[in-house]
Amino acid sequence: MESLKRLLLNLIGFRTSAENPDQLLEIIEYVEDYLNHPNLKIERFMKNGKPSIVVSFSKHSNDRKFKLIFAGHLDVVPARDEQFVPREEGDKIFGRGAIDMKGPSAVMIKLFKDLAERGEYKDIALMLTTDEEVGSANGVKYLLDEEGFSCDLAVIPDSGEDFTIITEEKGALHFAVEFDGKPAHGSTPWLGESAIEKALKFYEELKGFILYESQDPDHWHNTLVMGVFKGGNKVNQIPPNARVEFDLRFVPPFTLEEIKSGISYLVKKHKGNLEILSEGHPFSTDPNHPLVKPFIESVEKVIGKVKFGKTHGATDGRFFAEKGMPVVMIYPQGGDIHGDNEWVSFDSLLKLYAIFEDFLKKI
């Protein structure tokens, strides 16, 4: 599988962070060229400067419904120049995106190429996007909402470290609230109205709405983080403005709709202005789903044991879940995601390939 290693090393070399749109297009063109085969159909899309491709088999009908969609992203978070020069140390391959998620994407790309060269036809598609690290609005969300792609099961190797099968993901809501006050001199606070105090009162009531007592050892409960707070101009002035940005994660039975409705009510009560930054539905996939069961069997065959888990972070799985499509996730071995020494185990990528290959034989 030296060809898989070469593919990954080449993918890491593209500086595909959001501020490099030329590189985003170049990596898509590279993958298109790599997968150029008469047995494959490649469709390229562009939304707001973010390119993506969907690869399927030429024999597939023209509709955009598949039994499986394998989904991956080729963009990465920013990094130093040297992190785009991959290096090997034993079984480990270091470089930006090695595990998140050019390594898993390389596995899926190689798998589709091999299937095409063997003349095999599968009712599957490969969806590769370039905006996951900045919200996915112009990638997976666009492809599902506007281009109409759908599937019976989405397989996304973007969570579930060390081959943990992920069948549940928290919902997510990023939002900002701005408050206006009335400025006055700091020595006469009774003449003004503090926007910061309004924001703090809102925050306290928001916590009462979102948070609750939980002893769950895996912290499978709602969380709320005030990530950004800006307000005021001078120490001796009653602050006339404040802006607060929140990261909210939630689990069922809470729904995105009731969360947003409750927040809107509180914002109006405290005379603020609400801005939704990004959102995502939670998902929970039944392990007994007729397509998930053979996936689990393949993991057990290759790895020797099965571990199940949940993910607290938001992934592209939320967009499939919003459409009622079940999602399963898994990750190879690796570490230091988004860090200076991001790495992936090449042996674990071979195992991931073996899992996917065996799974496709069962469906």
CATH number for 276: 3.30.70.360
Together in a domain, 66 and 208: no
Together in a domain, 83 and 121: yes
> In this predicted structure, what is the pLDDT of residue 174?
96
User: Mean pLDDT throughout 111-136?
Assistant: 96
pTM of the entire predicted model: 0.90
Q: Percentage of the chain surpassing pLDDT 90?
A: 96
**Strands, E, within 58-202: which ranges?**
65-73, 87-89, 92-94, 124-129, 150-156, 164-169, 171-180
Q: Over the stretch 269-315, which tens digit does the pLDDT of each residue have?
A: 999 999 999 899 999 999 999 999 999 999 999 999 999 999 998 89
Phi-psi map region of 262: left, alpha, beta (phi>0 left; psi -120 to 50 alpha): alpha
> In this predicted structure, what is the pLDDT of residue 62?
66
- Which of 280, 303, 323 is at the close of a domain? 280
User: What 8-state DSSP symbol labels residue 59?
Assistant: T
Together in a domain, 165 and 175: no
Together in a domain, 115 and 245: no
* DSSP three-state, residue 338: coil
Together in a domain, 34 and 164: yes
Together in a domain, 140 and 190: no
Together in a domain, 298 and 350: yes
Other beta carbons within 10 angstroms of residue 73's beta carbon come to: 27
* DSSP three-state, residue 217: coil
> In this predicted structure, what is the pLDDT of residue 19?
96
> In this predicted structure, what is the pLDDT of residue 12?
98
Total number of domains constituting the chain? 2
Q: 255: which 2 tokens?
A: 């729904």
Side-by-side strand order, sheet with 241-250: 223-231, 241-250, 171-180, 272-280
Cβ neighbours for 318, distance < 8 A, ≥ 6 positions apart: 169, 171, 172, 280, 281, 282, 283
Question: Contact at 8 Å (CB) between 158 and 174?
Answer: no
- Candidates 166, 10, 162, 145; CA nearest to 74 is 10
Together in a domain, 322 and 217: no
User: What CATH number should be reported for the domain holding residue 35?
Assistant: 3.40.630.10
Residue 236: give the domain boundaries: 171-280
- Which of 235, 251, 280 is at the close of a domain? 280
Together in a domain, 154 and 266: no
- The whole-angstrom separation of Cα 39 and Cα 94 is 33
Q: Percentage of the chain surpassing pLDDT 70?
A: 100
- pLDDT averaged over the chain? 96
Question: Contact at 8 Å (CB) between 162 and 261?
Answer: no
Together in a domain, 291 and 235: no
- Which of 236, 259, 280 is at the close of a domain? 280
Is 69 exposed, middle or buried, given 0-12, 13-18 or 19+ CB atoms closer than 10 A? buried
Q: Over the stretch 66-83, which tens digit does the pLDDT of each residue have?
A: 999 999 999 999 999 999
Q: Is the per-residue pLDDT at 31 higher than 90?
A: yes
Together in a domain, 269 and 356: no
Q: 7: which 2 tokens?
A: 């593919």
Together in a domain, 13 and 114: yes
More confident residue, 90 or 2: 90
Q: Is the per-residue pLDDT at 148 higher than 80?
A: yes
Question: Contact at 8 Å (CB) between 310 and 169?
Answer: yes
Q: Over the stretch 169-214, which tens digit does the pLDDT of each residue have?
A: 999 999 999 999 999 999 999 999 999 999 999 999 999 999 999 9
State the SS3 of 118-138. Answer: CCCCCCEEEEEECCHHHCCCC
